[in-house]
Structure 1
């Protein structure tokens, strides 16, 4: 026989059965309650008290709860821990309910659908991504529900999984959903765990697939939909999930864009990490990154857009030049730039505010923030209409101040409204006649009470009599027991206290009904007026979103021009001759970190004629890696549309930048440093083109010397003969410098060093020619190794550098052979050591060589 519970718990169980994977916040009065397993989980994760409740039939069930007015903070903690929360509200007035109050889930909050300010990153998007694989296509659909941004993309071929992982790393979604069977799910899950560990991921199933397929066209229309059916289905799954979690019409998700890889400079996840484009390798923050150097945005909307630009630079020269021209104009007009930035300081994140308005969670303070933001925009527009660049003309035409909305909010809401929307105090006097009349009644009631109290004291002669109120008993007249004999007969006893009695009179009862009715009506009417105001604004969602996009664009252009002015950057020339020419280039991040030391600039000249591959040799810590990263970062900056740290720069856009820098074991998958290195090099050799820029730092150091040198040389030869990409290749294998004379377009460069005895000064200048030393012992000394170790290392190094016979033989025959060992253990060794080579005649030399040959033949059994 099935267990039965109280009617309320049966209602809870019925709703919970529809949300088995969610923690159910069940509204009961002023609290959200949780029961059974949810209560045990929530009490543990939220560190709140676990109690019990009568479940019927003598059963006790686990229970815990949180106040409804502070529920957002508790929900935020659960979401951060990877849980989903279903919020179940009372959908009818408990005072009018017959039996159990009706309840239903009004929204499901997941990591990818949060709208709480406590969980949303201000300067980054919060993406939800759906993945689907079908008919050879690996598709994604992504949405930031807090801004309404929605996009899709698809990948095919042997590299589709790698391309998808690169895209996921760039999006850094809060939540990923797998739709149907995905053959590459294991590889993607492994990547998520390693590179996006905070991301929640699960599967999504749909029962009515025919209904699901109708969603994209009904929501977006037919013009913007993907042509390929798998991609359309991926968008459909995304919309299905949003409708079943947010339970709103999603009118703010009104534009579906396509991710077009061909329109961007592609930076895979390895390159994004190695170059520290937007996240540093230490803690994942933007400190010490290219984004951190360029970010002078004034608004959250601009900060999010700048992050997109930095992670997805352009590759079309016309579009790049359009951005550069706008930045250039602001650099040349510092007063206009300063004025626009000053106005933008007063602009709130109204891109997200409009989303809260659409889903019905915006409060009165959100609306006043929207009013203040929009009221600033006419001043911004006035400033940009004076600018000539194409982007400013376009932005000015699409930038609206929405003064009707500004005036409406100004008329309706007080300047500093409360956070709560159901407790009154939001609506400005004069906005609504009925509300003003009710407020007059409520306000005059205080004077009426004062007069009543004075009259009753005078009439009864009881000087201590007072009129009071509480929420349980309403209004009353209170008289102490000492004066009970003087209470008139028209008083009706209402409550007895330890020291006093409380009474009611017909006159006071009539007043109570009038006043309490007015105060209750005030709260209800204020909320109705506020909801009506919110709905009016909601009808202009699209227009306000368009305005938000233009504000973000202006903010980013101002940010890039501010960075250019502060850091002495120059406008790069964008050319199409496939060359990269930089005069006195500087590393944008490193030069900012050098507080008191001057950064040493360097030139770069890469082309497809006489310098396609630069082989860079020189000591550790001398600046080889900094220089190579610098070249890559300046290319990225130029293709963003940013000025660059250099005296001059002429840059042809590249299609991809590949980097292999540093060494790290991938312990989670059991891969060694060398295996990771070779996998990354393999990826580069498979995907690089003649339009790419390749950065390779110390290839082959994870294995034996001859293996490593052989691999390094073979990689250079492959790039030169097959790929023909512009390449920077740093190495300690000085033997590779001989390639300069063997291959056209391969040039040697090194880091200049000045020696003073055992002391070495790194000049950090890249100069033509190869180096023949690595200065490793000197670097070890700088690192603080004990003096005795340094001296011993120098002695060993000196011994190995002596041109004795062992060295000669080892150099002549790298492969192990029994000949050298047997030869130098024979009696001939003394004779050889005694020879004076400078006085031996040619005939004597031939005789000595003849003896050595016969000895070798005898030992090899050939005599």
Structure 2
């Protein structure tokens, strides 16, 4: 038996049926209410009381609610947990409607479409990403609707999923929308779960394809539009999804950019993570990252741009040099740098304010913040006036003052307006005559009445005349019957009392109309005037956006100048000789973290002639990994146009930086440490080029010594023969130092160690030559292993070394015999014995192989 609900609940159910995936915030007066399953879910997630409401036919339905003025706090909690929210508002004034008020969903808030300032991270973009796969191509479109940024790209070929995952890791989207079925959806979901766990994944039912493909033409210029069907489709899907959710004007999304890997130094997800460029590996935050060291930006816009520069370094020498020139000027002109920094502290995030103005959610405080920011812009422009630098001159030319917009806001909006735009108090006195009059009437009505009473007494001569008010008859002039003959002819009788008559006049009636409707009119007029100002700004959004983006660039360039000044950075030369030369290079993050000791700088030489591969040996904790990361980070820093921590440097731009550093299980996909390592190495060998920089740390340690050493050696040989990339290769396999004898461009280096008896000191200096010890027991001692365990380990080490010497002698004897009398073993077995390499095996492995070969020889020759 179906239940017949009340008309209001039937309205709720009808609207909810159209939004099954969203939590419906249903406006009832001053509250957003939720019913049925939405109420149960919201009460649990928001930890608010679950009650019930009469539903009709003696039924009660679950209900919970929140005050509408505090909605942002609750929305933030739900968005943070990946939920979507449909905001359903009253579209009519309940006071003027008999019966059920009409309600509609005015917007849908999702993790990728939030606009409220309290819900957005200041220095991070909030990207919505849409993905479309077709004809073995994956097309991606992304937008941050809070800033108006929009980009697209296409990944093709066998490794298109890898390219998609790398881009997603850079974007760190709040929401990923799948507009089509993906071939490798399981792998993508595993990557998101493991690397972008806060990303909400949803699907989009795509309507008529042709209309979706045509949608980008309404937003972007022909020069910006993608040329392929897949790219047009994914951009169209993105815009369609935004229209369905934001349900408002999206004209602030007016610039479409193609991400082209050929224009940037490519950093895959593993490299960004291993080098801790913008997020650390502990909790994914900014702390102790390269971003945190360089971030002297003063605005949220600048912080977001610096992060983008770090994740998308440049490739073109002229672009890098242009940024270096600007940073150099700010380094050389500290007064200018400090003045700009001081001015930037007063700049609000007006890039996002403009978006709120565009979609109609900005309040008067937003306009005042915009005005405050625009007032500072001419001063910043003035600081750049006398600087003769092409990039800074270009930025100065692109920065507009927008004085008309600032002056309008200043004349219309009070300095400290209220938060709400529906309660009045935000329009400045003197801006609008009628509003001023209404305010005067509302504020000074008692004074006006007293003046009217005095005035009428003087006109009529009736000293007892008074002005009164009641809710039934309104305002009136009261005259006793004694003075009835003195009442003027223009007085209109309104009420007769026992001893007096009450009258009205046209003037008093006009006052009554004004005073009774004044407050309501004040609110209405103020909102209308506010909307006019907001609409005026809205027409200028594109040009003010341009200014915001230039201010962000000035912020980043001055921040890099500040970092160079504070940390004693130098300008690296950018060369085209395919070489990397660093003298006394320092790790920019590690040197800032050291408190009780000085950072030990190191030199680096990498080229394609006599130092293409550096094989670095030495003990754990001696600084090999820090050194290799340091080289990669300094190259990256140079390619964003920054100065770097070194005494001297000359760097050629590289097309990609690859890192295989550290050990970690990939629990989300059930992959072991060794499997993760091999996957990362495989990606490097597939994608690296001669112009790449490769950082490999301890390849092959997740398996047996024999297997691991073989893999490590094969990887180096493959890089040297096939790829020819500049490579830093750290290893515990000392035997790999023999590779330097195989090729002149492979060089051995090690970490210097100073021994004093049983005491060992790691000097953290990278010196030519390979290491002959690992000092593993010493490291174990530093880690705090029990003394007895350390002593026993030393005894076992001596035994194993003695065994190794004995086995070496035994193998050497057999190899001599095989060389002198090959027929004794058979030619094939003799070759096998001669090829035995004790340096790549443990003593036990070598003996087992030797005994096996001897037994085969005896069986084949029939000799005992």
> What range is the shorter-chain TM-score in?
0.7 to 0.9
In 2, the alpha carbon distance for the partners of 1:385 and 1:654 equals 35
Aligned position for 1:829: none
Is 2:725 aligned against 1:730? no
C-alpha distance in structure 1 between counterparts of 2:168 and 2:314, whole Å: 19
SS at match of 2:336: helix
Q: Partner of 1:21: helix, strand, or coil?
A: coil
SS in structure 1 of the partner of residue 428 of structure 2: coil
8 Å contact from structure 1 (residues 5, 55) kept in 2: yes
1:634 aligned partner: 634
CA contact (8 A) 2:368 2:413 kept: yes
In the other structure, the counterpart of 1:569 is 569
- Matched with 2:801 is 801
CA distance, structure 1, for counterparts of residue 86 and residue 25 of structure 2: 6
251 and 811 in structure 1: CA distance in 2 versus 1, 3 angstrom threshold: farther
Aligned to 1:688: 688
Q: What's 1:66 paired with? A: 66
Matched, 1:314 2:304: no
Helix, strand or coil at the partner of 1:123: coil
- The residue that corresponds to 1:124 in the other structure is 124
Q: Deviations over 1:140-182 (max 9, x none)?
A: 0000000000010001001110000000000000000001222
**Which residue pairs with 2:821 in the alignment?**
none
- 1:526-565 per-residue CA deviation (whole Å, 9 max, x = no partner) reads 1111011100110000001000000000000001110011
Identify the residue that residue 787 of structure 1 maps to in structure 2. Answer: 787
2:42 matches 1:10: no
- Cα distance in 2 for partners of 1:758, 1:551 equals 59
- Mean alpha-carbon deviation: is it higher for 74-83 or for 342-351? 74-83
- Map of 2:764 onto structure 1: 764
- Call closer, same or farther: CA 1:739–1:61 in 2, change over 3 Å: same
Residue matched to 2:391: 391
CA contact (8 A) 1:385 1:392 kept: no
Residue in 2 that maps onto 1:826: none
Listed one character per residue, the Cα deviations across residues 752-787 of structure 1 (whole Å, up to 9, x for unaligned) are 111001101111111111110011111111111111
- Partner secondary structure for residue 119 of structure 2: coil
1:667, CA displacement in angstroms?
A: 2.3
Q: Secondary structure at the match of 1:32?
A: strand
Whether contact under 8 Å (1:491, 1:505) holds in the other structure is: no
Matches within 5 A, 1:151-550: 151-447=151-447, 514-550=514-550
Structure 1 position 451, deviation (Å): 9.2
Alpha-carbon spacing, 1:723–1:519, altered in 2? closer, same or farther (3 Å) = same
1:425 match: secondary structure: coil
> Could you say if the C-alpha distance between residues 510 and 385 of structure 1 is closer, same or farther in structure 2, counting changes exceeding 3 Å?
closer
Separation in 1 of the partners of 2:257 and 2:365? 32
Shift of 1:384: 0.8
Q: Please, which moves more after superposition, 675-684 or 585-594?
A: 675-684
Could you tell me how far 1:253 is from its partner in structure 2? 0.4
| Cα distance in structure 1, aligned partners of 2:544 and 2:474 | 47
Counterpart CA distance in 2 for 1:51 and 1:734 is: 71
In 2, are the aligned partners of 1:617 and 1:731 still within 8 Å (CA)?
yes
- Measure the CA separation in 1 of the matches of 2:218 and 2:814: 72
Q: CA separation of 1:768/1:517 partners in 2, compared to 1, >3 Å: closer, same or farther?
A: same
Q: Give 1:382 shift.
A: 0.6
User: Partner residue of 2:659?
Assistant: 659
The answer to whether the 8 A contact 1:216-1:235 is kept is yes
Aligned to 1:30: 30
- Three-state SS of the structure 1 residue aligned to 2:351 is helix
User: 1:446 and 1:394 mapped to 2: Cα distance?
Assistant: 61
Cα deviation for residue 207 of structure 1 reads 3.0
Give the superposition deviation at 1:814.
Answer: 12
Measure how far apart 1:520 and its partner are. Answer: 1.1
CA shift in 2, pair 1:309/1:812, >3 Å: farther
Q: Cα 1:468–1:695, aligned 2, differ >3 Å: closer, same or farther?
A: farther
Which 10-residue stretch deviates more, 226-235 or 66-75? 66-75
Partner residue of 2:863? 862
Q: CA deviation at 1:468?
A: 11
Deviation at 1:509, TM superposition (A): 10
Structure 1 pair 50/858, CA: closer, same or farther in 2 (3 Å)? closer
- Report SS of the residue matched to 2:106: strand
Task: Give the secondary structure class of the aligned counterpart of 2:444.
Answer: helix
Residues 576-596 of structure 1 show CA distances to partners (whole Å, capped at 9, x for unaligned) of 110000110001000000123
Displacement of 1:202 in angstroms is 0.9
Q: 1:813 to 1:22 in 2, by over 3 A?
A: farther
2:312 and 2:163 map into 1 onto residues whose CA distance is 14
Where does residue 484 of structure 2 map in the other structure?
none
Q: For residues 770-805 of structure 1, give each alpha carbon's deviation from its aligned partner in whole angstroms, at most 9, with x where no partner exists.
A: 110011111111111111111121222122223677
8 Å contact kept, 2:737–2:770: yes
Instruction: Find the residue that maps to 1:129 and give its secondary structure.
Output: strand
Q: Give 1:124 deviation, angstroms.
A: 0.6
**Deviation of the 1:523 alpha carbon:** 0.9
Consecutive unaligned residues of structure 1, counting only runs of 5 or more, are 455-466, 477-488, 493-503, 816-852
Structure 2 residue runs without a partner (length 5+): 455-467, 477-493, 816-853
Please say if residues 76 and 116 of structure 1, whose CA atoms lie closer than 8 Å, have aligned partners that are also in contact. no
| Deviation at residue 505 of structure 1 after TM alignment | 11
Alignment partners' CA distance in 2, 1:506 and 1:666:
86
Assess, with a 3 A threshold, how the Cα gap between structure 1 residues 88 and 750 changes in structure 2: closer, same or farther. Answer: same
Task: Give the whole-Å Cα distance in 2 for the aligned partners of 1:859 and 1:782.
Answer: 53
Aligned residue in 1 for 2:19:
19
**Cα deviations by residue, 1:671-692 (Å, 9 ceiling, x for unpaired):** 1111111111111111111100
**Rounded Cα–Cα distance in structure 2 between residues aligned with 1:555 and 1:642:** 13
For 1:771 and 1:75, the matched residues in 2 are separated by 59
- What SS class does the counterpart of residue 278 from structure 2 fall into? coil
SS of 1:121's equivalent in the other structure is: coil
Give RMSD over aligned pairs.
Answer: 2.8
Number of matched pairs? 791
Q: How far has the Cα of 1:813 moved from its partner?
A: 10
Classify 1:381/1:858 alpha carbon distance in 2 versus 1 (closer, same or farther; 3 Å).
closer
Shift of 1:67: 1.1
Q: d(CA) in 1 for partners of 2:810 and 2:558?
A: 63
- Residue 61 (structure 1) shift: 1.6
Which residue in the other structure is 1:136 paired with? 136
Aligned to 1:557: 557
| Structure 1: distance between partners of 2:308 and 2:609 | 34
Structure 1 Cα separation of the partners of residues 24 and 129 of structure 2: 24
Q: CA deviation at 1:381?
A: 0.4
1:208 Cα deviation from its structure 2 partner: 3.0
Shift of 1:210: 3.1
Alpha-carbon separation, structure 2, partners of 1:469 and 1:402: 52
Taking the aligned partners of 1:174 and 1:587, their CA distance within structure 2 comes to 32
- Report the CA distance shift for 1:473/1:360 in structure 2 as closer, same or farther (over 3 A): farther
Distance between the aligned counterparts of 1:543 and 1:434, measured in 2? 33
Note the C-alpha offset of 1:668.
2.4
Q: In structure 2, what is the Cα distance between the partners aligned to 1:433 and 1:37?
A: 52
Q: In 1, distance between residues paired with 2:261 and 2:647? A: 32
* Alpha-carbon shift at residue 59 of structure 1 (Å): 2.1
How far is the alpha carbon of 1:73 from its aligned partner?
1.3
2: CA distance, partners of 1:667 / 1:9:
46
Deviations 1:619-662 (A, max 9, x none): 11111111000000000000011001000000000000111111
The answer to whether the 8 A contact 2:438-2:514 is kept is no
Q: 2:845: which partner in 1?
A: none
Give the drift of 1:448: 5.6
